[in-house]
Each structure stands twice: as C-alpha cells, then as structure tokens.
Amino acid sequence: MTATPAVARCPALLVAAPASGQGKTTAVAALARLHARAGRRVSVFKVGPDFLDPLWHTLASGRTTHQLDLWIDGAEQCATRLHAAAGESDLILVEGVMGLFDGEPSAADLAARFGLPVLAVIDASAMAGTFGALVHGLRHYRPGLPWAGVLANRVAGARHADMLRDGLSDIGDWLGALPRGEAYVLPERHLGLTVADELADAPARIDAAADALARTPLGQLAPAELARRWSVDFAAPPARPAVPPLLAGRTVAVARDAACCFLYPANLATLQALGARLVFFSPLADAALPACDAVWLPGGYPELHAERLAANHSLRASLAAHVAAGRPVWAECGGLMLLFDSLTLADGSAHAMWGLLPGAVAMQRRLAGLGPQRLLLDGRELRGHSFHFARAVSPLAPVARTEPSHGSGHGEAVYRRGAIAASFFHPSFASSPEATAALFLPRAS
C-alpha cells in the first residue's frame, strides 16, 4: 500500500472577481473544459455554499466538484480536499464567491491560507482605463496575496482589449480577453444559474467558452508553463478520527430529481461514511418510496414543478405511511416546501402540497433567507447556510432556530412533527457527522 505523501504539488488557480456577475463561472468552466479536452485531470472547487455553479464545473471537467468553506467545514476539511485533489490532478481550479474580499471568511482568506494564486475575472464591458485601477486595487489591497493575473470578460473587440491591456500598471498581469458571446452565456434564474442538466446545449455552451479562451494568452499556456508559474504545495492535514458508523445497517432514501437537486456530494459521502446505504427516488416520477429506514428531502426547485408534485398522491401516501411508522424524515428548504399544506407561487397561484406539516409556504420576490448558519442539535453543532425566496407560516412552534454565523441577522426555524424534522437550513453533514446521524435515527419517545 502506497503511503499518502505529506505534500502534494499541483498547479492551482483561485478565480475571483471584484463582484458577483463578472463571469467567474464561465471562466472556470472554460478553463476546465479546455484542459479536460486535452486529456488532463482537472479538479474544480467552489468557495462557500453553492449548489448550482458546481453543476457547471462538473459538466466542464468531468469530475465531481466540492465546496471549500473555511467557516462551514473548517480549514482542516479544506486542506484534506485540496491535498487529495493535488495528488490526483494536473490542475486545480477554485471559483471564488461574490467579490474577492467579500464575506467572512472571503475568497482572499482562502487564497492566503493555502497559497492559491488569484486569477481576477473582470467584466470590462463598460470601462477602459479604469480597468487598470481595478486590477491594481485587487492585486495590492491585501499585501502578500498570491497573484496570477487578470482575464478581461465581455470585451467588445481587439481595440477594446488593447485599451484594457495598456491601462495596466504591470503588463505581466494581462492574461487575455474573452469577447462578448451569446454562444457561451450561462443562463440564470431566481436562485442563480440554471441547472446545467436542464439545458440540452449546456455542453456546447461550455465548449464555445473553451474555444474562446483557447485564443487568449491564458488558454495558450502549456502545462509545463502552468506548473512553472502557479504550482502550489498542499500539505496533508493531521489525521482525523474515523467517522463512527452510527448509521450502519440503515438505508436512507434520498430524493433526487429536477425538483430536489440541491445535493452536496460531500453530504452523500458523509452518510456513507456513517455506514448508511443510500437509495434514490424521484418525487416527480415515483409512485412510492423505496424500502428504507429514513428519508432525506433536500432542497431544489419545487416551485417550478408544483403541479406535478401536488398530483403525486401515491408518493405522498407512501411518505405518510413511512412517517406514521415512526421512521425519520429530514426535509431542508425545498424539501420542507413539499411537506406543507400549500405552496403559493410568485404569480399568486396556489397549489395543495403534501400536507404532512401544517401551514403554508409562499414564494417572495426578494430573498427571505441568506447566509451561513449554525444549528445546535443534541449538544452538537451543525454548520451550513440558508438561501431561499420562500416564507413559511405554520401553527407549529419551532423546536429550535439556527443562528447566523456572526450572531446577527435572521435564523431559520426548525420544525418537528412526529418523525419529521424540517427547516430552510442546508446543513453540511461533514461539519458534524454525529449531529447528522441524529437526523436519520428515530427519536426516543
């Protein structure tokens, strides 16, 4: 058996921006696809909680995308994931969140912690000379931040690109320009990017972006040059205690389809590490639950499929029988929305849902919950986040509330009724496997 190396070395870039909406995901997907098409192994990560961008990353790279969050999962978990990726990859790409210095911790904090060179992506569609000032600020605002360079996005043409490049205080920062191009726009909706699997032309969009990137200095760098410029040594973290097999011998049925698509691969892996056997079912298409000891209803887009979900009476009856037998259900965000009496959409139309929790959910035009959260459960702390446009009104009194990571802001209610536990909170199971196991074990009466 080969010992795990104490240090694994691999070229790596953290792709950041001055703000959201600059084109980070497009740039990461393009770079991942460009190298994957050449037969290279590309591992992609996303900073912070995000279900949607990683689906595009996975499609582009052909490899599972994981999160890196210094607060939710901790520095050791991030180090474990990066070290493992460095040992099996030719290139590591990390997409930042919001702007480079936004959030506590920020993408810049992650870059500084692990020595990740920052590639800035800037939407230059409405600027010229100011581009150089913005690059200078991103590079020098935090002294000592590892730096790779800048990629201009949504550039009007060659003359515009020349103006942008000429405005840089260090010409070595210039890594090229992506032109405006409808062929590789990644469409959005209310929770972020459209799910990649829903678009038949998603692979073509990524390939078009990769083709455009191939014409830039960044896209033309050979693997040896990438390694020379941006290789990073990733140290192995200290060994962690093994996850106790608290779910050994138990089967957890996981909802997974277009209505329930917000699943972190690390959460599935944590359940398996706890000893659970996983089976999957579709709330949209299946008439009954598979044989199981517990059910997980993750988040997603029930609001886009409300009529079909409301009409699946047979699955609703199967789930009701599961609950009546005292078998646990954990429902988060979209999964919670399935269980209430009704769901009112943003257009005012109302749909009867599965009625296993009393109350009503209504979609809002504005965000109703956003940010990292923690939940104390049986004396253990689960960390995670919330991000939703829905509000719930219920006669049930919450049995607990999450707490925002920095102690101020909106916490999420946790409801219990019989064997059901539900919240808008999205937990990271890896943050506390023991607390996670409690969600899927029967509660003492």
Per DSSP, helices labelled H in 173-312 are: 202-213, 223-230, 265-273, 306-311
Pairing of strands 369-377, 380-388: antiparallel
CA distance 180 to 170: 25
295 bridge partner residues: 253, 329
Q: Two tokens at 391?
A: 């509000």
CA distance 350 to 361: 10
- Burial (CB count <10 Å: 0-12, 13-18, 19+), residue 398: middle
Contact 56, 24 (CB under 8 A): no
Q: Among this protein's residues, is 333 annotated catalytic?
A: yes
- Tell me which residue has tokens 């997980």: 296
What DSSP character marks residue 285? T
Q: End-to-end distance of the chain based on CA atoms, in angstroms?
A: 47
Three-state secondary structure call for residue 379: coil
- The sign of the CA dihedral 261, 402, 25, 228 is negative
Three-state secondary structure call for residue 402: coil
Question: What phi and psi, each to the nearest 5 degrees, are found at residue 234?
Answer: -105, 115
E-assigned strands of 117-173? 118-123, 147-155
Give me the active site residues, please.
Answer: 333
